[in-house]
Structure 1
């Protein structure tokens, strides 16, 4: 069956390269990926997937399903296709999309023999308001037995873990006044933000090493001779696990309220982007994928690591067995979110990553569909993680 899947992948390989290249040439920001979504959907329809677009009230989200006539597990491959401002596909989501649809179509060629169902789920806006969070809450993954996606990187790594993340905005409202003539009549909202930063900087010493707090001031006044009556700061707050993150968030909010009391400004705290849960890798699933990737690639696969970054795949991992490994672009030290990374995705190394990533996922899906003991092991590990 490995030969059958390899042949199936080779038959669509050039189309997958074209998908990756087209997305690179036409980058679209999160929740605006209309052309990108259509490109993927058209390809899946050509291979007899039943497609529903606009799911969870997100116009650029989709679910594509290929069902066999025999019972069996449901294998989902996830596609991301949003780009970044200025640098385009500097996170390689064009590769993720091509690998996701490629794995889905390849596995669909054998499910009539193995039984089961293949899904490809299009997940917009991973870089901002990650759709996987809303999908997880809305039950999109409730009927999914295994969820997989592969991310491009400098080198290949097994699926590790990512940090939970909360995106908080702190809005201070004060009272405007002439900063020289009547400063006593004003309430300086910017001072509230400055005290917030000072308090957070003091807090860092007393947090565990996995915590990350980084922010910017998005509004701080309009003129130096006017007491600012509005100031806004935005922070990403991260920690290895959601439970500890909640503790850190409480401390930060207390600091923010203290800054408001110190300055006399009023405070509003809100989420300015979707928050992400931490990724819990299903090790049985990860070991299966890593074994398959090593079979199809000549490049080494390094152990998974704790990432200080965050992804909405973390939310998926709490509702279904999931992995988020990385496939190398054969350039150690290549940095995410750069134009150099984007350009690398359309080289021969980028195309090789698409082919090997899609095939490895399809082979992993086949292993699960054809090996009941493996499937039970994956599910048992997931159920244990829930308790």
Structure 2
């Protein structure tokens, strides 16, 4: 070995630092062209172009828009680590940077993930770490982490173009992670409590609900008695769901929330169709299933009260996220080296109120999901902006790249210990079976 591990880390850090303008420019370009899940066509093209600029081969079309690089480091016989970046944005209509036609915007910082992913690849390639590491690194730009536009996605499922609603779920189903042994993704955060870099924590599991109430239109003033008001059925269902809240146990970390997406087309007509998109979250999938029973009762109660019909679609959502402690500890040490110990936060293994499909991946592979500072405002809000791209993009790129060196260093190969000690909750086939069982399509007619 002609170079020490610490010297190689420093060399990688220097290469990322030298190219930081290019890396940050890429992240900003992604931010200026936001697209939502499974529609990230322009974003995927930008990823493919920069892969080509790095002389990386790639495959595309993974779960419609995903782009996966060829291995960029090490020897083909060694383990493979995926560095993940998410392609999709959100819809926030009143965000100043929202697309004028689609309202898409990167109000969750996924553009920074793609930037740090590219930073890792660039640092490893330009430092020639790929000639020294005993394993492989794959850059994987993945679609549709945000579970939004569910009617569109359900139509894709019904058309046979998708099996699952979230990107990593679908990639697992399609086998795109079959050759991956471990994975990492860094997420930008605006929380001051996360410091410059944060490690640890987990997330909630969830279930997606898509509900259609079918009534009967009639003249709202001339003959309301002849109609069946689908909007009223939805209102009663929402009231019934809200009334369940006092039955939720605090320890289960339950969140039930949603939106009314349709409630009539003319004020002069009794609404014949109303639609809800709802979400059930909880500490475990068993908790989610328990709450789902109450939510289904509440939805049916609304239809029953008004004598309407109702279709309840249950779509398998994300599983809780479990981060690998060994990988987290390695990342923590590297993060402290990059930004200083006082600027790194170690979170306990406790759930946040959110969910992510990194949770699904964590149930079958060892993963980490660190966070990086540099954002301000409220995530998913109209005041969310990246104010310091060096913190949001460059710091995590350096931390992930140096963590990979620790994991794949030939004299140590900590990745082997990670893999050997990891006990997945599901095999890939078991995961797919579980998620298929969570899918539901229940129709009830209360018109007679």
Shared fold, TM over 0.5: yes
Give the structure 1 partner of residue 138 of structure 2.
Answer: 119
Alpha carbons 1:51, 1:64 under 8 Å: kept: yes
Give the whole-Å Cα distance in 1 for the aligned partners of 2:305 and 2:369.
Answer: 44
Give the structure 2 partner of residue 183 of structure 1.
Answer: 224
Deviation at 1:372, TM superposition (A): 4.9
TM-score, with length taken from structure 1? 0.90
Residues 338-386 of structure 1 show CA distances to partners (whole Å, capped at 9, x for unaligned) of 34432xx2x4x22233111001001111111126563233224431655
Give the whole-Å Cα distance in 2 for the aligned partners of 1:382 and 1:280.
Answer: 11
1:252-331 superposed matches below 5 A: 252-271=295-314, 275-298=317-340, 300-304=343-347, 305-329=350-374
Gaps spanning 5+ residues in structure 1: where? Answer: none
2:404 pairs with 1:359 = no
Residues 139-170 of structure 1 show CA distances to partners (whole Å, capped at 9, x for unaligned) of 21122111000011123321311111222111
Instruction: Specify whether residues 50 and 191 from structure 1 end up closer, same or farther in structure 2 by C-alpha distance, changes over 3 A only.
Output: same
1:11-160 superposed matches below 5 A: 11-56=18-63, 58=64, 60-66=65-71, 68-69=74-75, 71-85=77-91, 86=93, 87=95, 88-108=105-125, 109-127=128-146, 128=148, 129-154=165-190, 155=195, 156-160=197-201
Alpha carbons 1:240, 1:308 under 8 Å: kept: no
TM-score, with length taken from structure 2? 0.78
Deviation at 1:224, TM superposition (A): 4.2
Give the whole-Å Cα distance in 2 for the aligned partners of 1:73 and 1:13.
Answer: 28
Give the whole-Å Cα distance in 2 for the aligned partners of 1:48 and 1:110.
Answer: 15
**Correspondence for 1:203 among 229, 244, 252:** 244
User: How big is the alpha-carbon RMSD for the aligned residues of Structure 1 and Structure 2?
Assistant: 2.3
Instruction: Specify whether residues 358 and 340 from structure 1 end up closer, same or farther in structure 2 by C-alpha distance, changes over 3 A only.
Output: same
Secondary structure of the structure 2 residue equivalent to 1:22: helix
Alpha carbons 2:181, 2:365 under 8 Å: kept: yes
Alpha carbons 1:152, 1:326 under 8 Å: kept: yes
Residues 32-67 of structure 1 show CA distances to partners (whole Å, capped at 9, x for unaligned) of 3233222222222232322011123x0x21110225
Deviation at 1:204, TM superposition (A): 0.9
Give the structure 1 partner of residue 212 of structure 2.
Answer: 171
Length, aligned pairs only: 378
Residues 203-260 of structure 1 show CA distances to partners (whole Å, capped at 9, x for unaligned) of 1111123111112222222344432221112112111222211221122112212322
Secondary structure of the structure 1 residue equivalent to 2:361: helix
Alpha carbons 1:30, 1:125 under 8 Å: kept: yes
Q: Which moved more, 1:236-245 or 1:220-229?
A: 220-229
Q: Which moved more, 1:81-90 or 1:116-125?
A: 81-90
Instruction: Specify whether residues 64 and 16 from structure 1 end up closer, same or farther in structure 2 by C-alpha distance, changes over 3 A only.
Output: same
Instruction: Specify whether residues 76 and 160 from structure 1 end up closer, same or farther in structure 2 by C-alpha distance, changes over 3 A only.
Output: same
Alpha carbons 2:373, 2:391 under 8 Å: kept: no
Secondary structure of the structure 2 residue equivalent to 1:309: coil
Deviation at 1:274, TM superposition (A): 6.8
